[in-house]
Amino acid sequence: MSDEIKVFCPATIANISCGFDVLGVALDAVGDEMTVRKTSEKGIRITKIDGQELPMATLKNVAGVAGLAFLAASDYKGGFEIEIYKKIKAGSGIGSSAASSTGAVWAMNELLDKPFSTLELVQFSMEGERLASGVAHADNVAPALFGGFTLVRSYKPLDIIPIPSPNELYATIIHPQIEVKTSDSRKILKTTISLSDGIKQWGNVGGLIAALFTNDYDLIGRSLEDHIVEPIRSILIPAFDDVKKTAIQSGALGCGISGSGPSIFAFSKGLEIAEKVEQAMKEIYKNIGIDYDIHVSKVNLEGVRKI
Amino acid sequence: MSDEIKVFCPATIANISCGFDVLGVALDAVGDEMTVRKTSEKGIRITKIDGQELPMATLKNVAGVAGLAFLAASDYKGGFEIEIYKKIKAGSGIGSSAASSTGAVWAMNELLDKPFSTLELVQFSMEGERLASGVAHADNVAPALFGGFTLVRSYKPLDIIPIPSPNELYATIIHPQIEVKTSDSRKILKTTISLSDGIKQWGNVGGLIAALFTNDYDLIGRSLEDHIVEPIRSILIPAFDDVKKTAIQSGALGCGISGSGPSIFAFSKGLEIAEKVEQAMKEIYKNIGIDYDIHVSKVNLEGVRKI
């Protein structure tokens, strides 16, 4: 075994419209890179963070905290050093913290010859999510580790179901440069919903899962509805309704909030439409003078990988 | 074309645990029979009902009302006579009204050389459901017409998704001889639910759909959870908790309320376990002195059919 590994940790879209808190997908074209190496010294040290201002202290860094959860469950006597090359902006809503925490634990698991299952790695990574947002959610870390789409069927016990992804499915993700903290965007949610909205939501989740199994792009589009969270959270995102309308007019199958925002994702069939959607989304923010990052990406079927 | 047809109209389980109002499945071993014949006289006449006391007046009979909806949409100038041989008890919770209304419209469609799609037949049948329960629900009539499992993704517009069924899946359904009216069991439901229960529910719906696509019997079992409706409605069903516990102990994958009750269904892998579950369920009601009907059935993949 080598003592050092370099990994690509994909960005992810969670809370996919109807799939609030349960459905996520990994991206191919956006992600962080990390170098992780074994050390004889115990514990986790973050030795470098490139590309962003983030805490280096192990207990304040999501990769550090996830790594400590890994070490606590492992019988390995040494420790790890981590270098993080951030490409995903913190607070963008495309799984920045999940990329760092999954990259760290996946790399460590490789360096120790895979003592843990992917499901166990999800659990370690969730400790990073707890640090980032106050809630140990799994809907970004699961797709980052498994690749493709994943369903978090249950938290107690943790039950992750990998879901197939149609070949020509592309995501366009635009990140308007405003800050929405995950913890804030959780606070504005209501704690109760109407039964009738609930029924719509689980009908759509069922439809979306069926669509992903049958490569039914139209059904993907019809199922990308959210009557519960989007109407509330979209208020925090400038021009959300315009961006969504424009994306659909440009041919997108559907469009919604990525994670807890402010990024907005659209799914399209084929690269050509995804790029049309990209142009249309850009125009909206150009016109109102808001800076943005934008990505077009295939679904990443592999999850975190060695590079 | 013949002027007369005899059809088998399957019983159905709706509200499959997590799939309240959206998921149903058709059964093979239980169903009504109907004979439908063309008449030169316009309109629908119920000429015979065998096996049960039900209204013969067209506007008070679910098959009559569904048939009228069919006629109203059709350019056929004649009418139909219907004989109904009821085997499914009204109020049992296994789609008695859906069987009659789907049998009628499916038969009429055959006799006229299929002017309507299956989805259109669902819409006519829903008028029968409106008469029976006050709500034009589709979760029994959809599986009765399409066969297998069906997901009602949306009502507006009506969107029915056929879902595959694993080969060895059997249902055991016990009907304790007490009356629970659909309209009453709707009334006791709360109109709001907690967001956290909603998330569990749509996680389970996603899991169940994925399980049906992948023949994952264990996942079927894990997904057959209902945190929303079952805790409330099960109060109306004598010994529900005992029946469920016993079914699971006997090897059932999961167990829940069929439709709005009082029937209880359990799914099992293979006939042998389904029959064990049958024996165990019987014992419970024998011991407390409640009469029952009980059925063991494969999933009916065809829906209503000519016999």
Q: Cα(A10)–Cα(A26) distance, rounded to whole angstroms?
A: 6
Q: Is residue A301 a contact partner of residue A165, using CB atoms and an 8 Å limit?
A: yes
Is residue A282 within 8 angstroms of chain B, CB to CB? no
Asked if B154 and A194 come within 8 Å (Cβ–Cβ), the reply is no
Query: Rounded to a whole number, what is the distance in Å from the CA of B178 to chain A's nearest CA?
Result: 27
- Average pLDDT score over chain B: 95
User: By the 8 A CB rule, do B169 and B25 touch?
Assistant: no
pLDDT at B183 exceeding the cut of 90: no
Rg of chain B in Å (alpha carbons) = 19
Give the active site residue among A33, A127, A129, A278: A129
pLDDT band at B285 (very low <50, low <70, confident <90, very high): very high
- Judge if the upstream peptide bond of residue A143 is cis by omega within 30 degrees of 0: no
Total structural domains in chain A?
A: 2
* Residue B303 falls inside a structural domain: no
CATH assignment at residue B175: 3.30.70.890
Show residues of chain B in contact with A200, CB under 8 Å: 154
Which residues from B are below 8 Å from A25, CB to CB?
none
Average pLDDT of A265-275?
98
**Lowest mean pLDDT, pick from A148-162, B77-91, B115-129, B184-198:** B184-198
d(CA B266, CA B282): 13
Q: Does the beta carbon of A20 lie under 8 angstroms from any beta carbon of chain B?
A: yes
Q: Which residue of the set A182, A225, A230, A246 is catalytic?
A: A182
Domain check: are B156 and B196 in the same one? no
pLDDT at position A182 is 65
Picking from A151, A191, A196, the nearest residue to B206 by CB comes out as A151
Would you tell me how many other CB atoms lie within 10 Å of the CB of residue A113? Answer: 7
The 10s digit of each residue's pLDDT in A88-127 is 998 899 999 999 999 999 999 999 999 999 999 999 999 9
Burial class of residue B93, CB neighbours in 10 A (0-12, 13-18, 19+): buried
Residue B24 to residue A136: CA distance in whole angstroms = 34
Q: Which domain holds residue B286?
A: 169-298
Question: Given A161, A193, A219, which is nearest B192 (Cβ)?
Answer: A193
Active-site residue A182, yes or no? yes
The confidence score (pLDDT) of residue B239 equals: 96
Q: Are B177 and B254 contained in the same domain? A: yes
A130: pLDDT strictly greater than 80: yes
pLDDT digits (tens, 9 = 90+) for B228-279: 999 999 998 999 999 999 999 999 999 999 999 999 999 999 999 999 999 9
CB-based contact B210 A213, cutoff 8 Å: yes
Residues A253, A173 share a domain: yes
Is the same domain home to A230 and A250? Answer: yes
Residue in B33, B129, B230, B278 annotated catalytic: B129
- Report d(CA B124, CA A153) in Å as an integer: 35
* Chain A residue nearest residue B208, CA to CA: A206
Q: Which of A141, A163, A185 is the last residue of a domain?
A: A163
Q: Model confidence at A188, in pLDDT bands (50, 70, 90)?
A: confident
Residue B113 burial (10 A CB sphere; 0-12, 13-18, 19+) = exposed
State the average pLDDT over residues A48-53.
92
pLDDT per residue as tens digits for the range B135-148: 889 999 999 999 99
- CATH number for the domain harbouring residue A109: 3.30.230.10
> What pLDDT is recorded for position A280?
98
Looking at the structure, tell me whether residues A17 and A94 fall in a common domain: yes
Contact A154 B194 (CB under 8 A): no
Nearest CB partner across the interface for A206, out of B153, B195, B222: B153
Distance CA B22, CA A5 (A): 47
Best to test chain B binding among A205, A225, A230 (most B CBs inside 10 Å): A205
Statement to judge: residues A175 and A156 lie in one domain: no
- Assess B204–A contact: CB distance below 8 Å, yes or no: yes
* Position B54 pLDDT exceeds 80: yes
Give residue B182's pLDDT band: very low, low, confident or very high (50, 70, 90). Answer: low
- The answer to whether residue B53 is domain-embedded is yes
Residue pair A226/A186 in contact by the 8 Å Cβ criterion = no
Q: Which of B244, B247, B253 is nearest to B276 (CA)?
A: B247
Instruction: Using DSSP, state whether B180 is helix, strand or coil.
Output: coil
Q: Least CA distance to A163: which residue of chain B?
A: B210
Q: What is the mean pLDDT of residues B166-185?
A: 87
- Residue B222 and residue A22: Cβ atoms within 8 Å? no
Contact A189/B at CB under 8 A: yes
Cross-chain residue pair A192–B195, CB shorter than 8 Å: yes
- Residue A56 predicted with pLDDT over 90: yes
What percent of chain B stands above pLDDT 70?
Answer: 99
Residue A251 in domain: yes
Q: So what's the pLDDT on residue A1?
A: 61
Contact status of A198 with chain B (Cβ, < 8 Å): yes
In this structure, what is the dihedral angle of CA atoms B50, B51, B53, B58, given to the nearest 10 degrees?
-40
Domain boundary among B164, B198, B224: B164
User: What residue has token string 């349960």?
Assistant: A22
B176 and B132 belong to one structural domain: no
User: Residue B243 falls within a domain, yes or no?
Assistant: yes
The reply to whether ipTM tops 0.85 is yes
- Residue B31's contacts (CB-CB under 8 Å, 6 or more residues apart) are B8, B9, B10, B11, B87, B88, B99, B300
Both B117 and B25 in a single domain?
Answer: yes
Q: For residue B161, give the nearest of A152, A194, A207 by CB distance.
A: A207
Q: Taking CB atoms and an 8 Å cutoff, what residues of chain A touch B201?
A: 198, 202
Does some domain include residue A305?
Answer: no
Q: Which of A134, A163, A192 is the endpoint of a domain?
A: A163
> Does residue B148 sit in the same domain as residue B217?
no
pLDDT value of position B175 = 96
The confidence band for B134, taking pLDDT boundaries of 50, 70 and 90, is confident
pLDDT, position B133: 84
Q: Which of B33, B182, B230, B278 is catalytic?
A: B182
Catalytic annotation present for A129: yes
